[in-house]
Chain A
Amino acid sequence: MKRNKITLAGVGLLSASALVLVGCAGSNNGAGDDGEGAGGDATAIITVNGSEPQNPLIPTNTNEVGGGKILDAMFAGLIGYAADGSVFNDVAEEITVDDPQNLTVKIREGLTFTDGEEVTADNFIKAWNYGALASNEQLSSYFFEDIEGFSYDADSELTGLEQVDDYTFTIALNKPASDFAQRLGYSAYYPLPDAAFDDIESFGENPIGNGPYMLEGEGAWQHDVGINLVSNPDYDGPRTPANGGLDIKFYASQDSAYADLLAGELDVLDAIPDSAFETFESDLGDRAVNQPAAIFQSFTIPERLEHFGGEEGVLRRQAISMSINRQEITDVIFQGTRTPASDFTSPVIDGWSDSLMGAEVLAYDPEKAKELWAEADAISPWSGEFQIAYNADGGHQAWVDATANSIKNTLGIEASGAPYPTFAELRGEVTERTIQTAFRTGWQADYPGLYNFLGPLYATNAGSSDGDYSNPEFDKLLSEGISATDAEEANGLFQKAQEVLLQDLPATPLWYSNVVGGYGETVDNVEFGWNSVPLYEQITKVS
């Protein structure tokens, strides 16, 4: 529940290492569906945690993890993501990046939805047009904004999508996005069967997919309680389940889910409650999971705040950043379930670096911090209190208070947290630009690419630029990166762009969230994906 507060968002570009993602389709990283799983009972049902989807189960209208993990189990996209964030073809046989603005997609023949309809190019084109249409008001419509013909203001067709034959279509983009192919594994890009458009409302309640799992039957989604999925015998692809199905139980609190895990009522849990941070590794032993995730945490000090504009602002931001003892806070407050940040992205993303030029601004250095603060005071003496706003419904108080204390003790200024009762209130003020303090920000990637952490947040006039940051040098490096079709070259440019950010600190990087989870003795082969959701299809039940 807390995770959905960090948006699944993105627009982005950054190329996959090759221009062509050629298929490993059909290869098998799980066990067969013939009833003889590798080391487990292939008919056994795995019990996992989830939360009530906040929207109907329509891929383009689901932007939070509760619905997302169900859709990911029920649908197969053109590509899929492996645990390390690398991509593999699923429905796609071949995706060719003709140039940074044009792609050709060829899909495999003979794949079907669970209602028997064949998956063709048309299913993708129709689904994407549905998701993009302004009057459909889909929460994930922004995934299509780079496609030719997209409009937020009026209903328009995605003219950039063109069907070549039943199994081939081309995508024309309205601006270079060399990593577009890499995005295609996100749920917004799933195909929809024709049945969806006959009655989208009942489809949202009983979705028909083409993925590894399908609904156990009509009404398998019991609201507020759970959803029962069984493996789809007709699924033919790299994600063939090694188990018989998933029983996803919805929890309103992570504490109750954790109690169920300890009592053996739950096989796999992908979110350990804060209250168990101290004990979960001893409770679970080697069945505890604690690894970096694609989630970046920060706070933003907008330039429009007094004392934070221009040269003075740059000095003060750097001073504040250097006065935070990130290591101590992640150790003490988070019990090691966060990793101190060394850039603006995440260690699970290809191209992440802990040695960017200027990254020392993220290290705790009280002497240097005081020096910089004094320099800023020489420009204009400091007055007032430094505050960091946060939403009190998300478990942020402890770290905000600790961070404020760290700043206060180092710089000798008044610093404190400013709680807002709910996330909606905080976001309301941030969006309206009425907020008069620094505020917490975070970002969870939609797809494993560096650009996704940079473009939507810090480019001039970017959709989620909460601090209204603008720097032509950064913009230039970013757009060069997104036009580069070579992944190495692109990543190099994105790293250079981040070095600009490290100077300006449009957001103050704090730490990367880890995915903390665990599993019971009843299951094996549990591996967490790059997006912090377990790769359910690989899990086997110990018989």
Chain B
Amino acid sequence: MALYILKRILQAIPVFFGATLLIYFMVFAMPGDPIAALFGDRQPNPALLERLRAQYHLDQPFIVQYFYYIAGIFRLDFGISFSGQPVIDILARTFPVTLRLAVMAVVIAFVLAIVIGLFSALGKGGIFDNSMLVVALVFVAVPIFVLAFLAQYFLAVQLGWFRPTVGARNDWGDLWLPAIVLGLSVYATSMRLTRTSTIETLNQDWVRTAYSKGLSRGRVIPVHVLRNSLIPMVTDLGTVFGILMVGATVTEGIFNVPGVGNTLYQAIIRGENPTVVSFVTVFVVVYVLINIVVDLVYGLLDPRIRYVPS
């Protein structure tokens, strides 16, 4: 087991270098001059422009810039944003907010998905199953920004149940509205997955055996059916959590959540290479870690899975 984890972590190292190199190259290849853009419509003096470019190593060839960047990372120096803040501080500030939001959204999505998916499967083809299918389709079909704007306007501005934006107050209790919107946006797939997986499990021999042993429905469904149906859900959870950690840009923008998505978007627009690359690098690390955790959780859910370092 320990060996397996070690191996997975070692595997992550080339992934890390490959990903940062690729990202750095893509950001580097982005056309435009971020330094010139700092001056707006005014044309800066050429001498000043050159000095500023040199300060951010933007006058160097690509591979030299990348080397500066990687060398910095090993000193835990992720570079400086145009606003003069160390990128690592920006990361430390924004990640916890997005993490809270992602955790809340995942919990909301999965509690709903598992409960509704389970009952849909049990009553397969019935009114509940079919109406929940329609609801799921609506959530899949409606783009998230529509959902977000509607929720913001009706639930916050009109009804006043929530504050319309997050801003400075971004603790657990303040993130309900964006979390619900995010949760609903990913809920549908997970719900359908739970349903399918549960139906499959219901037809397994061991379920029939359990019933014929005389076990009650209240025992068979949660212990024998649900637990086994959850295995594909774990993979789904890993993916969804990953997506929410890095991909909540639209939702964060609408609800003014000071998280990574919002900050990354601003940095891309401004062409702030150190910020963009560092954020994406951390995303890569997060993805790799989540995947390792998911693989380990498999073993807890399904005793047939064993970790053998090959």
Contacts and interface: CB of A to CB of B under 8 A. Distances in A.
Interface of A: 4-10, 52-56, 63-64, 134-135, 137, 139, 141-142, 152-153, 201, 204, 222-226, 249-253, 255-257, 259-260, 262-263, 265, 393, 420, 422-429, 431-432, 441-444, 456, 463-466
Contacts of A465: 43
Given A55-B84, A137-B51, A426-B32, A263 B45 contact: no
A391 to B, nearest CB: 9
Given A423-B37, A425-B32, A431 B43 contact: yes
Given A52-B83, A137-B55, A7 B39 contact: yes
B157 A259 contact: yes
5 contacts: A55-B84, A64-B40, A152-B47, A223-B89, A260-B165
Contact of B37 (A8, A424, A442): A424
A223 B90 contact: yes
Interface in B78-115: 82-85, 89-90, 93-94
A55 B55 contact: no
Range for the number of chain B residues in contact with chain A? 35 or more
Given A9-B40, A253-B253, A259-B153, 13 more contacts: A6-B40, A7-B39, A9-B41, A56-B84, A142-B44, A153-B47, A201-B84, A225-B258, A256-B164, A263-B156, A463-B42, A463-B44, A466-B41
Contacts of B130: none
A422 B32 contact: yes
B33 A265 contact: no
Most buried by B among A54, A263, A265: A263
Interface stretch (B133-141, B221-229, B265-273, B293-301): B265-273
B254 interface: yes
Contact of B168 (A6, A152, A226, A262): A226
Contacts of B198: none
B179 to A, nearest CB: 16
Contacts of B48: 134, 137, 141, 152
A244 to B, nearest CB: 18
A263 B83 contact: no
A224 B91 CA distance: 12
Interface of B: 30-34, 36-48, 51-52, 55, 82-85, 89-90, 93-94, 149, 152-153, 156-157, 160, 163-165, 167-168, 170, 252-256, 258, 262-263, 265-266, 268-271
A56 B83 CA distance: 6
A249 B254 CA distance: 15
Contact of B40 (A7, A52, A432): A7
Nearest 7 CB-CB pairings of A with B: A7-B40, A425-B32, A9-B42, A424-B32, A428-B33, A424-B37, A259-B164
A276 B82 CA distance: 31
A73 to B, nearest CB: 18
Contacts, number: 171
Contacts of A432: 33
B36 A427 contact: yes
Contact of A223 (B85, B252, B271): B85
Interface of A is mostly: mixed
Contacts of A226: 167-168
B41 A5 contact: yes
B256 A466 contact: no
A64 B165 CA distance: 24
Nearest to B43: A464
B51 A263 contact: no
A279 to B, nearest CB: 11
B256 A393 contact: no
A64 B266 CA distance: 15
A256 B255 contact: yes
Nearest to A266: B165
Contacts of A424: 32-34, 36-37, 269-271
Contacts of A423: 32, 37, 269
A255 B52 CA distance: 33
Contacts of B271: 422, 424
A444 B41 CA distance: 9
A224 B254 contact: no
Nearest to A4: B40
B240 to A, nearest CB: 24
B255 A63 contact: no
Contacts of A64: 40
A256 B83 contact: no
B302 to A, nearest CB: 42
A425 B34 CA distance: 8
A264 to B, nearest CB: 8
Contacts of B268: 422
Given A224-B93, A256-B256, A259-B164, A464 B42 contact: yes
Contacts of B85: 223
B40 A5 contact: yes
A259 B152 contact: yes
A427 B32 contact: yes
A393 B48 CA distance: 26
Contacts of A443: 41
A466 B43 CA distance: 8
A431 B41 contact: no
B47 to A, nearest CB: 4
Contacts of A53: 83
B77 to A, nearest CB: 15
Given A55-B83, A141-B48, A463-B45, A249 B167 contact: yes
Contacts of A262: 157, 164
A252 B41 contact: no
A263 B40 contact: no
A431 B164 contact: no
A152 B163 contact: no
B46 to A, nearest CB: 8
Contacts of B43: 431, 463-466
B90 A442 contact: no
Nearest to A58: B84
A475 to B, nearest CB: 18
Given A263-B160, A265-B165, A422-B32, A63 B153 contact: no
Given A137-B51, A265-B165, A424-B32, A6 B41 contact: yes
Nearest to A11: B42
Contacts of A223: 85, 89-90, 93
Contacts of B82: 54-55
Contact of A265 (B45, B51, B163, B258): B163
Given A139-B38, A424-B36, A224 B258 contact: yes
Contacts of B55: 137
B39 A139 contact: yes
A251 B256 contact: yes
Nearest to A224: B258
B41 A442 contact: yes
A134 B37 contact: no
Contact of A54 (B30, B83, B89): B83
Contacts of B265: 252
B164 A265 contact: yes
A249 B166 CA distance: 10
A256 B165 contact: yes
A46 to B, nearest CB: 16
A362 B48 CA distance: 37
A442 B40 CA distance: 9
A68 to B, nearest CB: 12
B63 to A, nearest CB: 22
Given A56-B83, A63-B39, A224-B93, A134 B33 contact: no
A137 B53 CA distance: 11
A7 B42 contact: yes
